[in-house]
Structure 1
Amino acid sequence: MIPYGRLIAAARVLAGWSQTELSQASGVSERTVQRLEKGDPGASIGTVATLLKSLERRGVVLAGSDGRIRGGVQILKETEVDRELEAEIARGISATKNSST
Protein backbone atom coordinates (compact mmCIF):
# COMPACT_ATOMS: atom_id res chain seq x y z
CA MET A 1 0.00 0.00 0.00
CA ILE A 2 1.27 3.47 -0.91
CA PRO A 3 1.83 5.75 2.12
CA TYR A 4 -0.13 8.69 0.73
CA GLY A 5 0.08 10.64 3.99
CA ARG A 6 3.87 10.57 4.03
CA LEU A 7 4.04 11.41 0.34
CA ILE A 8 1.64 14.32 0.73
CA ALA A 9 3.64 15.61 3.71
CA ALA A 10 6.88 15.38 1.72
CA ALA A 11 5.30 17.04 -1.31
CA ARG A 12 3.85 19.79 0.87
CA VAL A 13 7.24 20.54 2.42
CA LEU A 14 8.90 20.48 -1.01
CA ALA A 15 6.26 22.95 -2.20
CA GLY A 16 7.14 25.24 0.70
CA TRP A 17 3.67 25.06 2.21
CA SER A 18 2.46 24.62 5.75
CA GLN A 19 -0.50 22.36 6.47
CA THR A 20 -2.62 25.49 6.73
CA GLU A 21 -1.52 26.70 3.29
CA LEU A 22 -2.21 23.29 1.71
CA SER A 23 -5.62 23.30 3.37
CA GLN A 24 -6.41 26.76 2.02
CA ALA A 25 -5.16 25.94 -1.49
CA SER A 26 -7.09 22.68 -1.70
CA GLY A 27 -10.26 23.42 0.24
CA VAL A 28 -9.60 20.35 2.41
CA SER A 29 -9.81 21.03 6.14
CA GLU A 30 -6.53 21.47 7.98
CA ARG A 31 -7.57 18.76 10.42
CA THR A 32 -8.01 16.31 7.52
CA VAL A 33 -4.56 17.23 6.18
CA GLN A 34 -3.08 16.64 9.66
CA ARG A 35 -4.80 13.28 10.07
CA LEU A 36 -3.83 12.11 6.61
CA GLU A 37 -0.18 13.07 7.10
CA LYS A 38 -0.15 11.15 10.40
CA GLY A 39 -1.27 8.03 8.55
CA ASP A 40 -5.00 8.01 9.26
CA PRO A 41 -6.44 5.69 6.59
CA GLY A 42 -9.86 7.34 6.74
CA ALA A 43 -9.32 9.88 3.94
CA SER A 44 -11.17 9.19 0.71
CA ILE A 45 -9.35 8.82 -2.58
CA GLY A 46 -11.16 11.98 -3.67
CA THR A 47 -9.60 13.92 -0.80
CA VAL A 48 -6.16 12.55 -1.66
CA ALA A 49 -6.69 13.48 -5.32
CA THR A 50 -7.76 17.01 -4.36
CA LEU A 51 -4.61 17.50 -2.29
CA LEU A 52 -2.40 16.09 -5.04
CA LYS A 53 -3.97 18.41 -7.63
CA SER A 54 -3.25 21.42 -5.41
CA LEU A 55 0.34 20.30 -4.97
CA GLU A 56 0.70 19.74 -8.70
CA ARG A 57 -0.51 23.30 -9.37
CA ARG A 58 2.31 24.36 -7.02
CA GLY A 59 4.76 22.38 -9.16
CA VAL A 60 5.22 19.23 -7.06
CA VAL A 61 4.06 15.77 -8.11
CA LEU A 62 4.36 12.22 -6.88
CA ALA A 63 7.32 10.58 -8.63
CA GLY A 64 6.81 8.37 -11.64
CA SER A 65 7.30 9.70 -15.13
CA ASP A 66 5.07 6.98 -16.59
CA GLY A 67 2.10 7.99 -14.45
CA ARG A 68 2.68 5.28 -11.85
CA ILE A 69 3.32 6.34 -8.28
CA ARG A 70 6.64 5.06 -7.03
CA GLY A 71 6.74 6.33 -3.45
CA GLY A 72 8.54 9.64 -3.89
CA VAL A 73 7.96 13.25 -4.86
CA GLN A 74 9.59 15.50 -7.40
CA ILE A 75 9.47 19.08 -8.57
CA LEU A 76 7.48 19.24 -11.78
CA LYS A 77 8.75 22.59 -12.99
CA GLU A 78 10.29 25.77 -11.75
CA THR A 79 7.86 27.42 -9.38
CA GLU A 80 7.51 30.71 -7.61
CA VAL A 81 8.89 28.96 -4.52
CA ASP A 82 12.06 28.13 -6.45
CA ARG A 83 12.50 31.73 -7.54
CA GLU A 84 11.88 32.99 -4.00
CA LEU A 85 14.37 30.50 -2.59
CA GLU A 86 16.99 31.44 -5.17
CA ALA A 87 16.49 35.14 -4.35
CA GLU A 88 16.77 34.42 -0.63
CA ILE A 89 19.98 32.45 -1.15
CA ALA A 90 21.39 35.25 -3.31
CA ARG A 91 20.52 37.82 -0.61
CA GLY A 92 22.21 35.65 2.00
CA ILE A 93 25.35 35.26 -0.10
CA SER A 94 25.41 39.00 -0.77
CA ALA A 95 24.96 39.80 2.94
CA THR A 96 27.76 37.38 3.85
CA LYS A 97 30.11 39.00 1.34
CA ASN A 98 29.26 42.49 2.58
CA SER A 99 29.77 41.59 6.25
CA SER A 100 33.18 40.02 5.62
CA THR A 101 34.60 43.08 3.84
Structure 2
Amino acid sequence: MFRSARILVAARALAGMSQADLASAAGIAVSVLQAIEQGRSDPRLSTVIALVDALKQRGVEIIPESDRNAWGVVVTKGSEAEKLGSK
Protein backbone atom coordinates (compact mmCIF):
# COMPACT_ATOMS: atom_id res chain seq x y z
CA MET A 1 0.00 0.00 0.00
CA PHE A 2 2.60 2.56 1.02
CA ARG A 3 4.71 2.66 -2.09
CA SER A 4 6.68 5.45 -0.52
CA ALA A 5 6.98 5.98 3.20
CA ARG A 6 6.97 9.71 2.45
CA ILE A 7 3.27 9.51 1.60
CA LEU A 8 2.48 8.25 5.08
CA VAL A 9 4.74 10.84 6.73
CA ALA A 10 3.10 13.62 4.67
CA ALA A 11 -0.38 12.39 5.52
CA ARG A 12 0.44 12.23 9.22
CA ALA A 13 1.91 15.74 9.14
CA LEU A 14 -1.14 17.13 7.34
CA ALA A 15 -3.33 15.52 9.97
CA GLY A 16 -1.33 17.31 12.67
CA MET A 17 -0.52 14.01 14.35
CA SER A 18 2.65 12.87 16.05
CA GLN A 19 3.86 9.31 15.55
CA ALA A 20 2.46 8.49 18.97
CA ASP A 21 -0.93 10.01 18.06
CA LEU A 22 -1.26 8.06 14.81
CA ALA A 23 0.02 4.81 16.31
CA SER A 24 -2.47 5.09 19.17
CA ALA A 25 -5.37 5.95 16.84
CA ALA A 26 -4.49 2.98 14.62
CA GLY A 27 -3.96 0.60 17.54
CA ILE A 28 -0.34 -0.19 16.70
CA ALA A 29 2.95 0.29 18.49
CA VAL A 30 4.94 3.46 17.81
CA SER A 31 7.91 1.26 16.86
CA VAL A 32 5.80 -0.38 14.13
CA LEU A 33 4.83 3.02 12.72
CA GLN A 34 8.43 4.20 12.86
CA ALA A 35 9.57 1.13 10.92
CA ILE A 36 6.90 1.71 8.28
CA GLU A 37 7.74 5.42 7.95
CA GLN A 38 11.45 4.62 7.65
CA GLY A 39 10.76 2.02 4.94
CA ARG A 40 12.07 -0.82 7.09
CA SER A 41 8.76 -2.67 7.30
CA ASP A 42 6.20 -3.96 4.84
CA PRO A 43 3.02 -3.64 6.91
CA ARG A 44 0.19 -6.15 7.01
CA LEU A 45 -3.00 -5.18 5.22
CA SER A 46 -4.80 -4.84 8.56
CA THR A 47 -2.17 -2.34 9.71
CA VAL A 48 -2.49 -0.33 6.50
CA ILE A 49 -6.27 -0.23 6.86
CA ALA A 50 -5.98 0.90 10.49
CA LEU A 51 -3.57 3.70 9.53
CA VAL A 52 -5.70 4.84 6.60
CA ASP A 53 -8.84 4.83 8.77
CA ALA A 54 -7.14 6.81 11.56
CA LEU A 55 -5.95 9.42 9.07
CA LYS A 56 -9.35 9.57 7.39
CA GLN A 57 -10.97 10.35 10.76
CA ARG A 58 -8.76 13.46 10.87
CA GLY A 59 -9.77 14.42 7.34
CA VAL A 60 -6.69 13.21 5.48
CA GLU A 61 -6.95 10.63 2.72
CA ILE A 62 -4.20 8.82 0.87
CA ILE A 63 -4.92 8.59 -2.84
CA PRO A 64 -3.45 5.47 -4.46
CA GLU A 65 -1.72 5.54 -7.80
CA SER A 66 -3.91 4.90 -10.84
CA ASP A 67 -3.75 5.33 -14.59
CA ARG A 68 -4.70 8.98 -14.11
CA ASN A 69 -3.06 9.93 -10.81
CA ALA A 70 0.20 9.58 -8.94
CA TRP A 71 0.17 8.75 -5.23
CA GLY A 72 -1.02 11.68 -3.18
CA VAL A 73 -2.59 13.02 -0.03
CA VAL A 74 -5.85 14.97 0.11
CA VAL A 75 -7.26 17.04 2.95
CA THR A 76 -11.05 16.89 3.29
CA LYS A 77 -12.82 20.25 3.30
CA GLY A 78 -14.06 21.18 6.75
CA SER A 79 -11.93 18.57 8.49
CA GLU A 80 -9.69 18.99 11.50
CA ALA A 81 -6.70 18.78 9.16
CA GLU A 82 -8.01 21.65 7.03
CA LYS A 83 -8.48 23.79 10.15
CA LEU A 84 -4.87 23.06 11.17
CA GLY A 85 -3.65 24.14 7.73
CA SER A 86 -5.51 27.43 7.82
CA LYS A 87 -3.89 28.58 11.06
- TM-score range for the pair, normalised by the shorter chain length: 0.7 to 0.9
Answer yes or no: is the 8 Å Cα contact 2:14–2:85 preserved in 1. Answer: no
Partners in 2 of 1:2 and 1:23 — Cα distance? 16
Q: Is the 8 A contact 2:14 2:81 kept in 1?
A: no
Letter in 1 for 2:60: V
Matches within 5 A, 1:22-33: 22-33=22-33
1-side partners of 2:30 and 2:4: how far apart?
Answer: 16
Residue 40 (structure 1) shift: 1.9
The two structures, once aligned, show a CA RMSD in angstroms of 2.5
Q: Rg bigger for which structure?
A: 1
Number of residue equivalences: 85
Q: Is the 8 A contact 1:2 1:71 kept in 2?
A: no
Aligned partners of 1:4 and 1:48 also within 8 Å: no
Listed as ranges, the gaps of 5+ residues in structure 2 are none
Which of 1 and 2 has higher RCO (CA within 8 Å, sep 6+)? Answer: 2
Residues 41, 85 of structure 1: CA spacing in aligned structure 2 closer, same or farther, 3 A cutoff?
closer
Q: Normalising by structure 2, report the TM-score.
A: 0.79
Q: Which has the higher helix share?
A: 1
Q: TM-score scaled to structure 1, two decimals?
A: 0.69
* Structure 2 match to 1:5: 5
